[in-house]
Structures are given as C-alpha cells and as structure tokens.
A and B are shown apart, each in its own frame.
Chain A
Amino acid sequence: MAQNHGSHNSANGAHDKAHNSHEGGHFVVPFKTLRNVAIALLCLTVLTVGTAQLHLGWAAAPIAFLIAFIKAMLVMAYFMGLKFDSVLNRVIFATSFIFLAVFYFFSALDVFTRIKEISTL
C-alpha cells in the first residue's frame, strides 16, 4: 500500500531502456544518435565560422547567436539527455534562461532609455 509508485521503481527501469523516456530512467542514448549530433555540431561550427567570414554587418551577431542556439539545443537535448528526461528537469533548466532574460531585459531597459544630457557648461 505504501509503495505504489510502480512505474518508476528499479524493477521496471532495469530493462526498460527505451520506454522510460518520460521519467528519465536509465535511458541509453543510441551510439548513432550521439555520433550524428556530434557531426551536426561540427558542421554548425563550420557554418558559424563561415558566416562570420561573410561580414554581414548588423546581421552577423543575430545569425551567430541563432547558430549557437541551435548547437546549444542539440547539446542539451542529446548529450545532456534532456529530450529523454522528465518534464521537470526541462522546466528547471529553462527557468534559468528565462530569468537571465529578465535580468538582461530590465537592465537594458534602463541603460537604453537613459536620456543623455550634454552639459551646458
């Protein structure tokens, strides 16, 4: 009666390598997946460097960050296993980026709406 968390105890998790995806049990990310992600990351790095060489002016930064963001997603999802982990861990990690954005947004709001006054002296 007391122990009724059946779907998450180890008797289940031991052999259910592929089926615990929503609880983050002992999920084994397949070798091929890891290899493909690594290749993708290397390609994206080449892309990053390549687009930087194109000197796209103001667009250089957003593009560089977009590519970095995609790389980060791949690392988080597959290398860190978030794709196969519990919703809670995804929420926990996403929360940090959200509040970092809050920190940046309101600080920037101040810095970029200051009225710069030229001294009349």
Chain B
Amino acid sequence: MSAEGTNYINCEKGIWSWLTTLDHKRIALMYMAAVMVFFFCGGTAAMLIRAQLWTPSNTFFNDNTYNQIMTYHGAIMVFMVIIPGIPAIFGNFFLPLHIGAKDVAFPRLNLASWYVFMFGAILAVSTLFTSKVDTGWTFYAPYSLKTSTAVVSMVLAAFIMGMSSILTGLNFIATTHKLRAPGMSMMRIPLFVWAIYSTAILQVLATPVLGITLLLIVAERVLGVGIFDPKLGGDPVLFQHFFWFYSHPAVYIMILPAMGIISEVITAFSRKTIFGYTAIAMSSLGIAAVSFFVWGHHMYVSGQSEIAAIVFSFITMLVGVPTAIKMFNWLATLYGGSIQFRTPMLYAFGFLFVFAIGGVTGIMLATVGLDVHLHDTYFVIAHFHYTMVGGTLMALMAGFFYWLPKMFGKMYDETLGIISWLFVFIGFNVTFFPQFILGQNGMNRRYGSYHPAYQSLNQISSVGGFMIAFGFIVALIAIVKCVLKGPPAPANPWGAKTLEWTVSSPPPHHNFDVEPIVTGGPYEYR
C-alpha cells in the first residue's frame, strides 16, 4: 500500500534512483527530458534552414553546410524525436495504467531501451563534432557510399536507436497481450492502447529491416560489398526498397500513437463516449498492416518499374480509408458532445484541421502522375510536415497538457497553454501552407538557394517558422512552470474515464493499490 503522499516521484530520491529505476513512469520522464532536448536541437536546425531561405542566394551557409543542416534537421527529428516521442513518453507512462497493470512486461528491458537510445543519440550528435553528414536523413546510395562525411557513425547511431525502438515495441506487445487487468478484454482497452499496440507491431516487424539496411551501408563503405553499387552491378534503387520498407511503416509509427492521443482527448473533452470504438481500433491495425505494402510511392521517379509504381500507387490510396474512418469517427464524437475548450482540446482541433490537409495531400502524392511533377519539391515537404508536425507534434502537445496534471500532480497555466497553441497552430499554417504552393510551382527541396521568384512565399514561411518557435518556447515555459510551481491537481481534473484517472496525481509507485477489475468499456460517459 502506498503511504499517504508518496508517489512515483518522491518515493525514492537521488539521481541514482532514477538512473537505475525499473518504474515505467520514471523511464517515461527520462525519455521526455531527452526527447525535449533533441527537439530543440532539431528545431534549431529548422530555424537555421528558415533563416537561410529568407533570401534566394546562399545567405548564411554554402551548399555543403546547408546539406549538413538539413540532414541533421531530418535525422534528429525523425530518429530522436518523432519516432520515439509518443510511444516512449506517453506509451511508457500510460500503457500499464490504461490496462490496469503494475508495470510493463519487461521493466529491465525498458530501462535498457532508454540507455540504448541515449547511446545511439549521443553517437549521432557526436558526428556534429567529427564530420557532419550531408546525405539527407534518407542516406540514399550511391552518395551515402561515397561521401567522406561521418556516415558510418550516423547510420550506426540510427541502428542503435532502432534497437531501442524494437525493444520498446516488443515490451509493449507483450504487455498488452499478457498484463491486462481482469475484465479488461482487448475490446475494452482504451484507443490509446490500440494505437500504441499497432505501433509496436510496426516497430518489431519493420525496424529490423532498417537495421540490416544500415549495416549494409556500413558494409558497402568499408568492404565494398556491391549490392547497391553500380560499379559491381549493384542497384541503388534496391537501397531505396530496403530503406523505405522500414521508413514507410515508420511514418505510421509516428502518426498512430498521435491518433491514439486524439481519441483520448476528444472523448474526454466532449464528455461523450467515442463514436465507433471498434472502427477506430480496427483502423489502427488496418493502417499498420497496409503500411507495409506501399513503400514504393517514395520511389516513383527513382527508376522503379512502371508496373511496380502503379501497384504501389493503388495500394497507397487504400491507406486513406482507415485514416478517414478515424477522422469521421472523431467528428461524430464531437457532435452532440459537451465540448471543453481547454488547451488539450485546442491542440486536438488543430490536429483535425491540419491532419486533414496532410492526409489529402498524401493522396495527391500517391497519384503517380501528380508525383512525377511534385516529387522532391516543397509540396512533399509541406505534406509530411502537415502530417508529422501538424499531426504528431500537435497530438504530442495535446498529450502533454492532458496528462501533465496526472504525471506531475500539478495544473498547468491555461493562459500559457492557449498562447502556445495560438502561435503553434497559426505559425504552423503560415510556415507550411505556402510550401504547397512553392512545390507546385517547382521549388526544389534540399536546396539552400532558389530562384528569386520564390522569395516572397519563402519569407512568409520563415516568419511562420519563427512563430512556431515562439509557440514551442511558450509551451516549454508552461510545462516547466507547471512542474515546478503549478497548483496541485486532483486525481481527475478532466472527469475522464480511463484507468489512469482513478489513481492519485502523481500516481503511486506501483500504480494501483488494488488491482482494478474492469466491468465496462473505457469511455462510459453516459
């Protein structure tokens, strides 16, 4: 039994108790601290990009340096922020709580995952001090096999971080299968758990292929294996098959957990049970499954055969279906609900608006004929930023403000929250909407300079970039202020129905004093 007032934060003190913790909640916070630091690193790179693109010529950096900046922006954001992000922070913290468990299936493996992640991250950052990589985060052959920059260290770092992702996914699958409380059938788990579970399947199935791809880059550079090298009859396009077989499911690793958060927030702040629980749950699995069949849509103009391109294009259209099912179910949940316009809900609304745009532009890019024109332009950049930043990052923010009271037992400052949302949401659209137009008009991605005709839209975009930065800094202030001196939060400030709200804020070390016995669904509002 927990003594009065003890929780997972104050039950043990000292940094060593954190570094050796087996408590999934503490591990979640350790991931949170790391990911936040990496986000600001990747964000700094983004600000450098937007500063560079203020004028058409090489304003601050030459082409080589720009290649490095855009590589680190992508690599840090992808491997060190968005892929680990929601699963490692909120999945770790809330998956056991949501299913009524005391911890994840393998707590020591969980801690190991964090150390492995940190080791990989430090190795990646170290390349900034040796020889900065300039290949883009996609490491395409043949350039990645030839460039004299620290590619080997960087891909090994990605390999190591991939291992962390695999171990986390493995842990979450076993946890979801085996540690549910009595009465918590698979059709009674919260939709966040369905999302994390589907993501975990992707992590386990897809990431190893990235692993072997990265090892093959090393083998090519060090040994000259030849599989991707035309000089020996190898095929650079085969590299792209290897790379995207993981990296397309990876983008669903990025978005599925975000959608899980949206399900939770929309339900809680509409005070209404979610519309179409089964449809949303099954659509998470459906998206995960279909995501393995579409990777060639990244390769329409790479030299892939036309037949393959058509097949991939057709299947890619299909993935819009489960995604749309979610969107409509969320809207139907809002309808007739009693809506609370608190910060988490504002971010959720932002998500709905922005992800819709991201999603439909994805369908546009899935069309081979359009993509031939739009590939490698700013249209693509706008599309994936709408889904990843507008989608995942906004959902991450929604999750933060929704769950901060639970995680720290303190309430956040609503005014700061709203200000952060205003600048992030408006700034986001100001930054990225013009990029659709820039891309449509032919501006290339990954270029540090451009034709002067593109300047005005680029400047609008850069202004937006600085608005986003301001919004995130305000959010950071809100979070820090909450953690340090927010007013005490009750166990259930939102009146939500999932199991984490039945325990104290912050939760006790072992989550539940008494193992919950579940007799109904997760969202029984009325």
Knowing A2-B182, A96-B205 touch, does A110 contact B296 (C-beta < 8 A)?
yes
C-alpha spacing A104/B209, complex, angstroms? 12
Distance of A49 Cα from B305 Cα, bound (Å): 38
Partner of B307, one of A5, A102, A109: A109
Determine the chain B residues whose CB is within 8 A of the CB of A114 once the complex forms. Answer: 303-305
- A110 with B293: CB separation less than 8 A: no
**Is the Cβ of B292 less than 8 Å from the Cβ of A99?**
yes
Work out how many contacts link A and B, with CB atoms closer than 8 A: 52
- Which residues of chain A are within 8 angstroms of B293 by Cβ–Cβ distance? 102, 106
Q: Are B308 and A109 in contact (CB under 8 A)?
A: yes
Residue A103 CB within 8 A of the other chain:
yes
Within 8 A of B (CB), among A70-112: 88, 95-96, 99, 102-103, 106-107, 109-111
The reply to whether B515 and A106 contact each other, CB–CB distance below 8 Å, is no
Q: CA separation between A102 and B209, bound complex, in Å?
A: 12
B458 to chain A, nearest CB (A): 36
Q: In the assembly, what is the distance between CA of A76 and CA of B311, in Å?
A: 34
Chain A contacts for B296, CB-based, 8 A: 106, 110
B331 touches A (CB below 8 Å): no
The tally of residues in B whose CB lies under 8 Å from a CB in A reads 24
Question: Does A113 lie within 8 Å of B308, measured CB to CB?
Answer: yes
A110 & B205 in contact (Cβ 8 Å cutoff): no
Whether a CB of chain B sits under 8 angstroms from the CB of A115 is: yes
Using A99-B205, A99-B292 as known contacts, say yes or no to A110 and B182 having CB atoms under 8 A apart.
no
**Which B residues are CB-close (under 8 A) to A115?**
305-306
Alpha-carbon gap, A107 to B517, bound state (A): 48
User: Is B182's CB under 8 angstroms from A113's CB?
Assistant: no
A102 x B238 contact (CB < 8 A): no
Q: Could you say which of A1, A2, A103 contacts B209, with CB atoms under 8 Å apart?
A: A103
Question: Interface residues of B: mostly helix, strand, loop or mixed?
Answer: helix
CA distance A99 to B182 in the complex (A): 33
Q: Does A4 reach chain B (CB closer than 8 Å)?
A: yes
Q: How far is the CA of A110 from the CA of B299 in the complex (A)?
A: 10
Within the complex, the shortest CB–CB distance from B448 to chain A, in Å, comes to 32
Q: Which residues of chain B from 270 to 317 have a CB within 8 Å of any chain A CB?
A: 292-293, 295-296, 299, 303-308, 311-312
Please give, as numbers and ranges, the residues of chain B lying within 8 Å of A96 by CB-CB distance. Answer: 205
Contact partners of B307 in chain A: CB under 8 A? 109-110, 113
The answer on a CB contact under 8 Å between B238 and A88 is no
Mask of B484-526 contacts with A, CB within 8 angstroms, 1/0: 0000000000000000000000000000000101000000000
CA distance A1 to B305 in the complex (A): 61
Q: For the complex, is B245 an interface residue (Cβ under 8 Å from A)?
A: yes
- Beta-carbon contact of A4 and B292 below 8 Å: no
Point out the residues of chain B lying under 8 angstroms from A95, CB to CB: 205
B188 at the interface (CB under 8 A from A): no
Measured CB to CB, the closest approach of chain A to B518, in angstroms, equals 10
Q: For the complex, what is the distance from the CA of A30 to the CA of B241, rounded to whole Å?
A: 45
Q: Could you tell me the distance in whole angstroms from the C-beta of B38 to the nearest C-beta in chain A?
A: 30
B376 at the interface (CB under 8 A from A): no
Given A2-B517, A88-B177, A115-B305: A102 touches B241 (CB 8 Å cut-off)? no
A99: which B residues are within 8 A, CB to CB? 205, 292
B182 touches A4 (CB 8 A): yes
Of the A-B pairs whose beta carbons lie under 8 Å apart in the complex, a sample of 8, sorted by A's number, is: A4-B182, A106-B241, A107-B245, A109-B308, A110-B237, A110-B299, A110-B307, A113-B305
